[in-house]
Structure 1
Amino acid sequence: MASSDSESEVSTAYAKEGYSEKGEMQDNDAPAEPKSTSKYQTDDAADDEVLDEEELKLYGYGSCRPKHMQLFHNSKGFLFAISLYCFTHGMAIGLFYIMISTIEQRFNLTSRQGASISRSYDLFGMLFVMFVSYFGEHGHKPRLIGISAIIFSLGSLTFTFPHYLAGPYNPEEGPIFDTCDVNRTVTDQCVGDDDNLQKYYAVFIVAQMLHALGASTIFNLGLTHIDENVTRGTAAVYTGIFWSVAVLGPSVGLVAGGVYLDTFVDVFADNIPITPESPFWVGCWWLGFVGTSFFAAYNAFPLLGYNRRLPGYTKAQKKRRNETRLGCQFQSQSKISQFPKAVLALLKNPTYVLITVGVIAEAFIIAFVSVFGPKILESLFNLKTINAALLAGLSITPAGIIGPLLGGYLLKRYKMTVSQTLKFCAYSEDQFNLTASCNSLCKCEDEYDPVCGSDGIMYYSACHAGCTVEKNETKGAKEYSECACIPPVDGSLEDYGTAKANRCGTDCAYLIPFLVVAFFSFLFTYLVPVPYITATMRCVDYSQRNFALGVQTFFNKGLGVVPGPIAFGALLNRACLLWEYECDGSQNCWLYDNSQMTIYLVLMISACRLVSILAFTGAALTYKPPKDGAYQEDGNKALYDVEMTGLS
């Protein structure tokens, strides 16, 4: 009896607040059974509007849909939830890029294996995104994104397994030969590696596969779900916010990774025999991935509570214009038999194809500058590696955050059509011999550890500078004397010069202007994503928006993100003056011809920018708007007449 009274009270409370017992919003003034079962009335009056059935459902899980949880049941709540997931995803990417060299050292992986772990994420992503975007178009998008967050969480957790399985790290610090020593015994540095640790290489690949599968829903299902539940102008602003968070995540991951690397890999170890300055130091590379695993699983919880439709869906759909390019209508039903036809329909849309070409060109620039930007600054302005990375981040990250926000605002402020959006996209954007007579007897190792001589010239290492005496460290920098290859300073009574660890400083006055120009260049580059995403979803059939973004991502990764750094790296190799060879046969360049590097950099960026401008201009010229009045919703065959002035 008590139970019955309790249920009655709950029913009464829901009724007073305007909700049914099933947790659906109800209009107390409306008749119990509306005459029309259609999602839309032909009358444009607001009073005759019939809401979507999914839009009436409350936020929650099964029968648990309490009133206080409805605070998140709106487009802003969904944007916040998916942005948190996107931020976590970006953090994992940033952590990986700063940790990969430490992972190689800890598990004796070669540079090629480290690079393949990195590339596997993009390769698996290309495979998954096509099918997830195609079959997810008519699925429960928030639920699919929530499930993918759980998969991503498992990927980050799997990434930490080698740390637990390999056991404690026992550094065996051997002698470090900095100075010239004619009595040194030269040993083969490529002998003695523990190949047993390389078995964990496969674990990292599996973890990256799970990462790729988990991330395959973020940038297509997430953006299309936002687009279909809010008005056009609001969608542009929300996309800008989402994209800015996507840029912020990796930056935070890089900073957090630097902090973790100052902590020893075995956080509970006692009596650590080495310091972070030792070349045998291994930082806590795994701890950040424990965090991303937890946060991704935590992000899944709010995402799984959303329904297929958000409040405001009906209003947004009534104001939506049909902007599918004339002659490119296609009714996708997400059936496997229709997959080839769906791909062909996109490839026969010249506007879509040209937008994709422009996107690839922009991705090419962002990809190789993200990888080589710090190295370019380091070489051009003779900076320390950590300072070059910091300055590169300070010039690129703010542009990546401000650009999408500004792009989304401009689209909403000026209510740009597809043609105007595409026009906006178009106009936004010799070998060294290290052995000399002065160091021929020094038996120097091939480890690159530059020092700055008292003559202002940088040397490969203290040993190659012929230095025989190492002084005490001053402010963290080692000093050397009796350097046979360095002439004495004028007026000095010494026979030889001195040297200090690290590169020589530079008096170049163009560093700040260079960073300012780089900031504005990337600001215009990051203005493009929101307009091109918006144009992509508008120029294809409504039922193909999600698949169009998926196919675009496939080509974006396959022809832009993956080959971009490879192509530019091959070009930079032609400007290399000094190579260091690894045990696996790979090589690293330590010194570049700056004039050649600058020429290659300008040529590459100019070529990509020209392709981008021509592609977006061509897309604007080939776009043909449909006849006024036609509206097609979510793949259904019914057409509705709507007012064409309903932009917001």
Structure 2
Amino acid sequence: MGPRIGPVGEEPQMPDKDTKAMKGTDDTPGGKASPDAQDLQPSVFHSIKFFVLCHSLLQLSQLMISGYLKSSISTVEKRFGLSSQTSGLLAAFNEVGNTILIVFVSYFGSRVHRPRLIGCGAILVVLAGLLMTFPHFISEPYRYDRTSSGDMSQDFKASLCLPTTLVPAPAASNSSCSSHTEVKHLTVVGIMFMAQTLLGVGAVPIQPFGISYIDDFAHSNNSPLYLGILFAVTLMGPGLAFGLGSVMLRLYVDIDRMPEGGISLTPKDPRWVGAWWLGFLVSAGAVALAAIPYFFFPKEMPTEKHELRFRRRVLAVASKDEDSPSEQSPGEPPEKQVLGQIAPDLTVIQFIKVFPRVLLRTLRHPIFLLVVLSQVCLSCAVAGMATFLSKFLERQFSITASYANMFIGCLSIPTAIMGIAMGGILVKCLHLSPLRCSALCLLGTLFCLLFKLPLFFMGCPTHQIAGITPQSDSQPGLELFPGCMEPCSCPSDDFNPVCDPSTHVEYLTPCHAGCTNQVAQAALNKSQVFYTNCSCVTGGGPVQAGSCDSTCSHLVLPFILLMSLGGVMASLTHTPSFMLILRGVKKEDKALAVGIQFMLLRVLAWMPSPVIHGSAIDTTCVHWAWSCGRRAVCRYYDNDLLRNRFIGLQFFFSMGSLACFALIWAILRQQDKEERTKVASSGLQQQLLESRPEKKPEESRV
């Protein structure tokens, strides 16, 4: 087995450590105990209730800044020409730094000044939020047309069908594809990846150290209440992130440097880009304010009043036996006891030696492994949904990014929180055994699948786009380069969609529709633009600026309701599955088992899932924008294929979770049968033993 890990003689020193923690504020310099901790009039920073309030606000702000990118993912793609696979990788990079460092949090434990380290982590989160806004300030103003930034009067004329002699030379567009432009693009993308990594690193100490600090210095009866309040407030963070995204994306991206003549776009225009960067500034400011109190909290604070009285009695008894050898279980070797309190008293080398052994021992437990696999499947579905649901709703139902975020923030996330709360209430009130916990998880996952099944049939068909989507009837002028637009010399990289209201056909630009003139009409305090003299449109036009309206946008609300109900059922399994882990592993491995669980969820679910969903979305693209010879953002998707693949991934991961919970239920049911058989056989043996004593006295006399 090798040398013993950690001296056994360290056990008796634990009461000393507790004594110092308890006597730090209660003992006078002379060594006499003060009458009561309340008489010292401690500051507000010595109150665990104030720490719970501060930590709730900090975790709320930290999750708000972490979730804000997901609310503006499609806008970031449009602004910087990113594919969904790249944006999914960007969202996953939040977990990279977190996963690398989270294991060592269990090693540091209470050795460090936890409040101060939480404050330092919050500062890193603030710096990451500010770094995310940096690409906006180093980039040129957003150009949604082919005109120069100083010639805004040519906004609509740039996309008109003009004679070849009046069209600018194609070298003008190619000149933008210089090496400097490509380097600038890579720099911007690199900065965002760096910011996401830094965001994950800064979040490492916040939750674990905060929870352990509350549990150490709160009254044993109040600790669950404080943690429940903490989790309830924290879960509001993602909802506020999507609500913030809904507000910010209504503002134009260059609101800080608007051109003199203003802009002619509206949020409904497919070229619209909202102020994605402004939400990071607001979230970073909230985190900075919430981080200030942590530099004033002490390393150790007095526990709550009722707990102090109880602990004093315990310490008085412990001080009498201080010189006696440490109490050990006769059947357990010292090495196993060190594994039980794995982090506090080991050096880094000892911790690294012990960790793989406990990891392998924990992973060999069938219930633990199956529960983690089921949670990995559910987390894959949740991670993909959280990252790309907003974009999916935009593309599928032709709604704005602001509107999609409002639906998610107001319906999907609150119902998921309600599902988690319902699961905890059922486990507590019904006193569910592990077998019944697995049955509850099985039913929750099954109903989640049933609610998601109709989503395959709720969506909008793809717009008829001239030259891109196949047409059901052979209308003239719908091929890629029809003869009607030959004299126009339309640029291939331009994007200014127009819609023919009579046929509901969409064209990439007015030039592709053969339009030679544009007219602005005022209606309902808005200026609506029409293009006329369109040679590729039946009757010559007019066509309306912007994409065609969706014919089934009314389905977005039923879609979100069914999705939210499925989320409630999936969230219902959160608490019961945790109880299966806590009741399934050995007592000395519980703390580390939870840490291993979170590590595996990050590595197997939260990191790869956004990339998998983004790659699946990219495969449904039917028209890409190109920039400097590389694929940039997707202009149009095949809506039916997008819906089948996106919902199909959700269905696939939910099926995997259902299969794992079914195996868990079968194993626990078999174990329950074996235990009942043992109890019945032991009962029969006891009855036989009880029936013999009548004969024994006679035999003994003989």
Q: Same fold (TM over 0.5)?
A: yes
Q: Would you say the 8 A contact 1:134–1:550 is kept in 2?
A: no
Q: Would you say the 8 A contact 1:160–1:289 is kept in 2?
A: no
**3-state SS in 2 of match to 1:357:** helix
Distance in 2 of aligned mates of 1:336 and 1:315: 38
Compared CA separation, residues 503 and 158, structure 1 to 2 (3 A): same
Match of 2:288 among 289, 294, 317: 294
Residue 407 of structure 1 pairs with residue 416 of structure 2: no
Q: CA deviation at 1:459?
A: 1.0
Q: CA deviation at 1:361?
A: 0.7
Q: Would you say the 8 A contact 2:393–2:404 is kept in 1?
A: yes
Deviations 1:501-533 (A, max 9, x none): 233232465433222211211122233333334
Q: CA deviation at 1:339?
A: 1.8
Distance in 2 of aligned mates of 1:291 and 1:408: 33
Match of 1:251 among 234, 239, 246: 239
Compared CA separation, residues 439 and 340, structure 1 to 2 (3 A): same
Residue 331 of structure 1 pairs with residue 302 of structure 2: no
Q: Would you say the 8 A contact 2:88–2:610 is kept in 1?
A: no
The aligned counterpart of 1:214 is 202
Match of 1:469 among 514, 517, 528: 517
The aligned counterpart of 1:450 is 497
Structure 2 length as normaliser, TM-score?
0.66
The aligned counterpart of 2:482 is 436
State how 1:191-590 maps to structure 2 within 5 Å: 191-192=177-178, 194=181, 197=184, 199=187, 203-223=191-211, 241-257=229-245, 259-260=247-248, 274-275=262-263, 277=265, 283=275, 285=278, 287-288=281-282, 290-298=284-292, 300-301=294-295, 307=301, 330-334=339-343, 335-429=351-445, 434-442=480-488, 443-463=490-510, 464-472=512-520, 474=523, 475-488=526-539, 495-507=540-552, 510-583=555-628, 585-590=630-635
Q: CA deviation at 1:126?
A: 1.6
State how 1:50-65 maps to structure 2 within 5 Å: 54=21
CA RMSD of aligned residues (A): 4.7
Distance in 1 of aligned mates of 2:617 and 2:139: 40
**3-state SS in 2 of match to 1:467:** coil
State how 1:127-166 maps to structure 2 within 5 Å: 127-136=100-109, 144-159=117-132, 166=138
**3-state SS in 2 of match to 1:191:** coil
Q: Which AA in structure 2 matches 1:73?
A: S
Compared CA separation, residues 316 and 517, structure 1 to 2 (3 A): farther
Q: Which AA in structure 1 matches 2:177?
A: V
Compared CA separation, residues 258 and 552, structure 1 to 2 (3 A): same
The aligned counterpart of 1:94 is 67
Deviations 1:535-593 (A, max 9, x none): 43443345544433332222222221222232233334444333333436234433333
Q: CA deviation at 1:366?
A: 1.1
Structure index of larger Rg:
2
Which structure features the higher share of helix residues?
2
Q: Would you say the 8 A contact 2:498–2:547 is kept in 1?
A: yes
The aligned counterpart of 2:348 is none
Distance in 2 of aligned mates of 1:266 and 1:511: 30
Deviations 1:211-245 (A, max 9, x none): 21221234544456667778999877766654454
Q: CA deviation at 1:85?
A: 1.6
Q: Which AA in structure 2 matches 1:331?
A: G
Q: Would you say the 8 A contact 1:467–1:481 is kept in 2?
A: yes
The aligned counterpart of 2:57 is 84
Q: CA deviation at 1:471?
A: 1.7
Structure 1 length as normaliser, TM-score?
0.71
Q: Would you say the 8 A contact 1:579–1:589 is kept in 2?
A: yes
Distance in 1 of aligned mates of 2:597 and 2:310: 25
Q: Which AA in structure 2 matches 1:67?
A: Q
Q: Would you say the 8 A contact 1:224–1:546 is kept in 2?
A: no
Q: CA deviation at 1:357?
A: 0.7
Instruction: Determine what percentage of the aligned residue pairs are the same residue.
Output: 22
Compared CA separation, residues 500 and 459, structure 1 to 2 (3 A): same
The aligned counterpart of 1:10 is none
Q: Which AA in structure 2 matches 1:436?
A: P
Q: Would you say the 8 A contact 1:87–1:245 is kept in 2?
A: yes
Q: CA deviation at 1:301?
A: 4.3
Which range is displaced more, 603-612 or 447-456? 447-456
Q: Structure 1: 5+ residue runs without aligned partners?
A: 1-35, 40-50, 318-327, 489-494, 628-648
Compared CA separation, residues 505 and 602, structure 1 to 2 (3 A): closer
Q: Would you say the 8 A contact 1:126–1:554 is kept in 2?
A: yes
Q: Would you say the 8 A contact 1:58–1:73 is kept in 2?
A: no
**3-state SS in 1 of match to 2:159:** coil
The aligned counterpart of 1:325 is none
**3-state SS in 1 of match to 2:420:** helix
Q: Which AA in structure 1 matches 2:630?
A: G
Q: Which AA in structure 1 matches 2:506?
A: Y
Q: Would you say the 8 A contact 2:496–2:508 is kept in 1?
A: yes
**3-state SS in 1 of match to 2:634:** strand
**3-state SS in 1 of match to 2:484:** coil
Q: Which AA in structure 1 matches 2:340?
A: Q
Q: CA deviation at 1:455?
A: 1.8
Q: CA deviation at 1:89?
A: 0.9
Deviations 1:410-436 (A, max 9, x none): 333333344433432332129666433
Q: CA deviation at 1:111?
A: 8.2
Q: Would you say the 8 A contact 1:367–1:560 is kept in 2?
A: yes
Distance in 2 of aligned mates of 1:531 and 1:621: 16
The aligned counterpart of 1:598 is 643
The aligned counterpart of 1:67 is 41
Deviations 1:447-488 (A, max 9, x none): 444333222524143423333322215425432233333324
Q: Would you say the 8 A contact 1:56–1:311 is kept in 2?
A: no
Which range is displaced more, 441-450 or 278-287? 278-287
The aligned counterpart of 1:178 is 159
State how 1:625-644 maps to structure 2 within 5 Å: none
Match of 1:123 among 92, 96, 101: 96
How many residue pairs end up in the alignment? 562
Which range is displaced more, 97-106 or 459-468? 97-106
The aligned counterpart of 2:699 is none
**3-state SS in 2 of match to 1:439:** helix
Distance in 2 of aligned mates of 1:233 and 1:456: 69
Q: Would you say the 8 A contact 2:399–2:553 is kept in 1?
A: no
Q: Which AA in structure 1 matches 2:416?
A: G
Q: Would you say the 8 A contact 1:407–1:531 is kept in 2?
A: yes
Which range is displaced more, 421-430 or 132-141? 132-141
Residue 188 of structure 1 pairs with residue 173 of structure 2: yes
Compared CA separation, residues 558 and 207, structure 1 to 2 (3 A): same
Distance in 2 of aligned mates of 1:138 and 1:346: 25
